[in-house]
Chains A and B, each alone.
Chain A
Amino acid sequence: MGIDGAYPLLFVIWLVPLAGAIVNWAFGPQLKRSATIIGSAAIGIPFVATLMAWNAATQSSGAAVGAHQNLFSWMPGFDFGLLLDPLSLIWALIITGVGFLIHAYSVGYMWSDSAIARFFAYMNFFVFAMLTLVLSDNFVGLLVGWGLVGLASYFLIGFWFFKPVAVAAARKAFVINVVGDVAIMFAIFMMFAKIGSITFANVFAHVGALDGWLFWTCLFLFIGAAAKSAQIPLHTWLPDAMEGPTPVSALIHAATMVTAGVYLVARCWPLWNASHSAQLLVGTIGGLTALAGALLGIAQWDIKRILAYSTMSQIGYMIMGVGVGAYQAGVAHFFTHAFFKACLFLGAGIVIHELADEQDIRRMGGMRSRAPVAFFAMFAAVLAISGFPGFAGFFSKDQVVFGALEHGHPWLYAVGIVTAGITAYYMFRLFFVTFFGTYRGDVDPEHEPARGESHAPAWIMALPVAILGIFSVIAGYAMIGSNPPWSRLFAHTFPSENLPPVAIGEGWTTAILFVVMAAGIAIAYARYATPVALANAPARLRLESERMPAVLVRLFYFDDVIDWLFVKPSLALGRFFGSWFDPDFIDGAVRGLVTLSTELAAVVRYFQNGLLRSYALIVVFGAACFAIYYALQGTVR
């Protein structure tokens, strides 16, 4: 049974989170902690509705999913509607499903925060905005969602608005994302001008009408995707965004919002399929981002920043996948990544909570016994992100990397393999340094302030982490075997291609991937988890931080270059215009004009001096002039 035509549940999926946000925002001061129930229910209900849609869509093979609902005409020529097809369904499933688990976790994590109702209002609003993004049937609706998720992200990064660092991070994230927003706007101009419509269906049916503009449309759409999905060089906001509460990092800056770029490219596959230069560009940027994120992950000490760079790197994989044309693989990696990355963040949140907001892994260690649930769940997730066979990330990463080879990009394939090794290394580095050895910090385990203040039961945070840990193992099995639900769902979504066979088979590339990954784990083990390393951990970690290459510590100088190229010149220009050019030059010219006219007035005033004799003189002078004039005229004639 498929889903077709109008589908009333769409409104439940789309609007219930908004209702939750409004209630929590308007009645927050009265609701206090009851807001957690409303906030979680507002995501749980759409999740159930989405599950029903998923069941209907995957029950039989060859099922069609294409629920469509017209809404209203926003402006002449700009018609809004909702669309639930396999692609938006899979996103909606993650947004509401993982979103619900993270909301439940937040009940415990934010329990002692006095602004908990505001937190849930923002979180619900985010889910609404993200659903707007993925359920829109047109580019402007998508852009509205695109901007609103940016706003939710801004609110939540700066949730603790009394912290100047958080405020600055929120602003940076917002401004960089506006760069992406206006780029998508420009792509819309081109589509509207050449095709005359902004709905996906019309645009994709008339890709040919874009002719010379096709590459530029793709390019500008991708700038938008890159800003949202933290692709080079627009990624610098993502690590800073970790200033927000940890559940925010898990939901927005790992599982859902930052994958919007992947959604956009996958959604616009007819555009990309028609432009090979655009495919090459996107694939290359994705590959580079995967590599750069992984390299930067090596050099970080803040547990959330390591995870932020790993997010950037994994989204690089997804972008590479959808960029080269392996759309299903890219989307699959989004699906598995949502589980294991949310699991990693929430597990890290438990550790951070346990250690009174300590985030530096050098001052952790031995957390295995103090946070056992986080330990086991994160172990599964670390294996999954590394691509260990049998774990969720393995299936999808293998598909992406092989997809790059299949579509004729051996270099991107090589980058994907190398990155997989680095990923295994830095993720196990995080895992070993955090959970093994002995505790190196100074938070007294007997008197934990964090646990003491929070009266929420511990299971409310542990359970979502455990569930996500389980999914980090099993999520990949939705896409293997004969006729799995995944293939049934995406049977008709993406183009089927007949690709030429590659020199080495998929079995071999999987083996290569495994060897490289195992090497990464082995190096991490040798450096951080051997008995010798554990015994001298403090000294060794100190030494490592001192010897860290500057290029990694300074994050490949991206921030500095952006600062020098854009921020500093803009401010200098503003100061030049504002403090000299405007008041002195332009207004100076105006004042000069005023002075000139007063001077002229003074000259004229000289003759109006009230003296009868001088008037008489002027009259005589004038009469003389006339007389001379007529006399001369007479002679000439």
Chain B
Amino acid sequence: MALVLILLPILAGCALFALPRGDRLWSRVIGCAVAALTFELPLLVGNDGAFAVRWLSRPFTASLHFAWSGVSLWLVLLLALCTFCAIVATNVAQTRTLIALLLLLEGTMMGVFTARDILAFALFWDLMLIPPFFALVEWGTHRETAWRFLIYNFSGGLTLLLATAAFGILSGSTDVIGSTHQFAGSWAPWIFAGFAFAFAVKTPLWPLHTWMPATYADSPPPMVAVISAVQSKAGLYGFIVIALPCLRTAMADWRWLIIALALVSLLYGAFIALTQTDTKRIVAYSSLSHLGLIVLAIASFNPVALQGAVVYIVAHGLFSAALFLILGYMEEREETRSISKLGGIGANNPKLAGAFTIAALAALGLPGLAGFAGEIVILTGVFKAGYLWPALIALVPIVIASAYMLRLLQDAINGPVIATLPQRRDLTFAEALAVAPLLAALLFIGIYPHAILTAVLR
């Protein structure tokens, strides 16, 4: 069944190119239906849905082995939901092409999140970089950004592939995700370094993040909603399902470096977000900061922190998708992304302002919304694992986050109405529909985060 999750969006995405270039209606209908199906399927079928065929026997065994369970399941659901919302929100000159790219992105990322074989994981890892690249080429303002995104992430893909090959040759099989296989030996640190580099670039982790702000700022909002919400989680997912179980000792040796980089990301992203003026860049740097927290959780090797990390992965996916979609709406209405020019939007756009407020509050960790649940459980675990200072330092960005998120929120929606800005009507039905499920999920998980864990711990 897992194969359906991969092939259905890819085939549908290819099929959309058969539609006329200017089509809007059918591509949306098909896109929404496919995304909804991929959301429903894991829920209907239940656990696992494994698919496996032998792919390679020499020099090591590899399979096309796909399944969902535990963390995978939540990332699959998050991906399907974000894709659905992004497709509903898509409103650009070439709707058909963007929706097709979104579907291709969904299919390839489904491959990453359901792969049970590291080689298949690495294959889809590279494939998932292609759709955002074409989106950047088509809608971005600088061609350079697209190449930078592709080359930077492909270099990660290269080390991933090399590490996978070395892992396969030395341990005989790459079909190890989800098993209890552990790899140790003199090569382990190098293999871990290869994996970690790829994951750190994708997450991103300081100092490998400089491809990200431009990419997030330049991509069309539906695309950046999906890549910031879900694609950035591929690296974290890799840490959780490959590095943590299979290369445990190697990762434990490197953990202080990872913790240090995570803390630097946390603080560095927060400070920069405080002074940026481009709305999308503020959220991009805040992402750098927030994802550092999850890396910290993983590197603390504590089960409580890891539970928090899973909650926060979902939470961050939800609020960053919502934020980028809403920033897209705002850019479309006001024709600017500079917060020094924005202001007073809330007076005439109460729905936009309300949605923006909830998303921003979730991002700054308001108790009662999902972000808080992740933050407090992660840091409780990190502290319990004996990391007193990292836990204390990680509290500072939470305070800064409230400052930059409120700056972003208030400078845009509050204050007197600015007459020079275009006055457009409030959110349309489709626009509201695109963010409503994200916001509802943020509220639900905030009140009852246990729901996520019951599935993960099973």
Give the interface of A toward B (CB within 8 A). Answer: 72-78, 140, 143-148, 151, 158, 161-162, 164, 167, 170-171, 174-175, 178-179, 181-183, 185-186, 188-190, 192-193, 570-571, 573-575, 577-579, 582-583, 586-587, 589-590, 594
Contact = CB atoms under 8 A, between A and B. Distances in A.
Contacts of A189: 379-380, 383-384, 391
Contact of A151 (B207, B361, B373, B399): B361
B274 A75 contact: no
B142 to A, nearest CB: 14
Contacts of B276: 578
Interface string B149-176: 0011000000000000000000000000
B344 interface: yes
Nearest to A194: B384
Contact of B210 (A151, A185, A590): A590
Contacts of A175: 399, 402-403, 406
Contact of B399 (A143, A147, A179, A573): A179
A241 to B, nearest CB: 15
B210 A188 contact: no
A15 to B, nearest CB: 13
Given A148-B368, A185-B376, A76 B384 contact: no
Contact of A76 (B207, B372, B373, B450): B450
A570 B274 CA distance: 8
B358 to A, nearest CB: 11
Given A185-B375, A188-B376, 12 more contacts: A76-B304, A144-B367, A151-B366, A161-B415, A178-B402, A181-B398, A185-B376, A185-B398, A193-B384, A573-B271, A587-B210, A590-B152
Given A151-B361, A161-B414, A182-B398, A582 B272 contact: yes
B379 A185 contact: yes
B123 interface: no
B387 to A, nearest CB: 10
Interface in B311-330: 311
Interface string B416-440: 1100000000000000000000000
A162 B372 contact: no
A76 B271 contact: no
A570 B275 CA distance: 9
Chain A's interface: helix, strand, loop or mixed, by majority? helix
* Nearest 9 interchain pairs by C-beta: A147-B367, A574-B275, A189-B383, A587-B210, A144-B367, A574-B274, A182-B395, A578-B272, A574-B271
Contacts of A72: 448, 450
Given A75-B453, A148-B367, A175-B406, A190 B376 contact: no
B275 A578 contact: yes
Contacts of A182: 395, 398-399
A167 B368 contact: no
A61 to B, nearest CB: 39
A158 B414 contact: yes
| Centre residue among B344, B361, B380, B383 by max chain A CB count within 10 A | B380
A155 B305 CA distance: 32
10 contacts: A77-B304, A140-B376, A147-B368, A171-B406, A171-B407, A175-B402, A183-B395, A193-B384, A574-B275, A589-B207
Contacts of B416: 162, 164
Interface residues on B, range: 35 or more
Contact of B346 (A146, A148, A161): A161
Contacts of B274: 570-571, 574
Given A161-B346, A185-B376, A144 B368 contact: yes
Nearest to A185: B376
Contacts of A590: 152, 210
B215 to A, nearest CB: 13
B402 A586 contact: no
Contact of B415 (A146, A167, A573, A574): A167
B441 interface: no
Contact of A586 (B210, B403, B449): B210
A10 B424 CA distance: 46
B139 interface: no
A190 B388 CA distance: 9
B228 interface: no
A151 B373 CA distance: 17
B51 interface: no
Nearest to B416: A162
A532 B27 CA distance: 84
A186 B395 contact: yes
Interface in B112-158: 151-152
A574 B271 CA distance: 4
B406 A174 contact: yes
B384 A75 contact: no
Nearest to A196: B384
B427 to A, nearest CB: 15
B307 interface: yes
A603 B69 CA distance: 51
Given A189-B380, A582-B210, A570 B367 contact: no
Given A144-B367, A175-B406, A190-B383, A162 B415 contact: yes
Contacts of B373: 74-75
Given A140-B376, A164-B415, A167-B415, A577 B268 contact: yes
B268 to A, nearest CB: 6
B410 interface: yes
Interface string B379-408: 110011000000110010011101100110
Contacts of B307: 75-76
Contacts of A143: 367, 376
A268 to B, nearest CB: 18
A162 B347 contact: yes
| Centre residue among A140, A186, A574, A594 by max chain B CB count within 10 A | A574
Nearest to A167: B414
A189 B407 CA distance: 29
Contacts of A575: 275
Contacts of A192: 380, 383-384
| Centre residue among A140, A183, A594 by max chain B CB count within 10 A | A140
B180 to A, nearest CB: 22
B32 interface: no
A171 B30 CA distance: 44
A170 B413 CA distance: 14
Contacts of B339: none
B376 A186 contact: no
Nearest to B273: A574
A178 B361 CA distance: 12
Nearest to A145: B367
A141 to B, nearest CB: 9
Interface string B260-292: 000000001001111110000000010000000
A145 B410 CA distance: 23
A76 B308 CA distance: 10
A586 B207 CA distance: 7
Contacts of A586: 207, 210
B363 interface: no
Contact of A74 (B151, B384, B407, B448): B448
B377 interface: yes
A203 B418 CA distance: 53
Given A161-B415, A179-B399, A574 B272 contact: yes
A146 B365 CA distance: 13
Contact of A577 (B272, B368, B406, B414): B272
A591 to B, nearest CB: 9
Contact of B367 (A146, A161, A578, A587): A146
Contacts of B308: 75
B372 A147 contact: yes
Interface string B210-239: 100100000000000000000000000000
Contact of B377 (A75, A158, A164, A186): A75
B5 to A, nearest CB: 29
A74 B207 contact: no
Contacts of B383: 186, 189-190, 192-193
A189 B308 CA distance: 13
